[in-house]
Amino acid sequence: MKIRSIIVASALALASTSAFAFSCPKHMKAIDAALSKAKLGDAQMAEVKKYRAEGETFHKAGKHQDALDTLAKAEKILGIKM
């Protein structure tokens, strides 16, 4: 019984981790697509690119929640609603 619940718990943990892992590239893609059409000032453009790069770094380091939080800042500037 105990072992069973441990297996269920780790399966759930694994599922949520991979869900995060999967959504970061989706956000990065949306940002890239919006960036090519966006009419932003130089400062805002630099800010978006900074958040986009930081998000990718977090994602590659396995820090998916940090990645999503950082990418969300870029999305906010671009006016992307996801």
Residue length of the chain: 82
Nearer to Cu ion, 6 or 13 (CB): 13
Nearer to Cu ion, 24 or 74 (CB): 24
Question: What is the binding site for Cu ion (CB under 5 A)?
Answer: 21, 24, 59, 64, 67
Least Å from the CB of residue 73 to Cu ion: 15
Q: Name the residue among 39, 76, 40 with its Cα closest to residue 55.
A: 76
Least Å from the CB of residue 76 to Cu ion: 18
Q: Is residue 77 within 8 Å of 47, Cβ to Cβ?
A: yes
Q: Which two tokens stand for residue 10?
A: 């780790």
Nearer to Cu ion, 52 or 59 (CB): 59
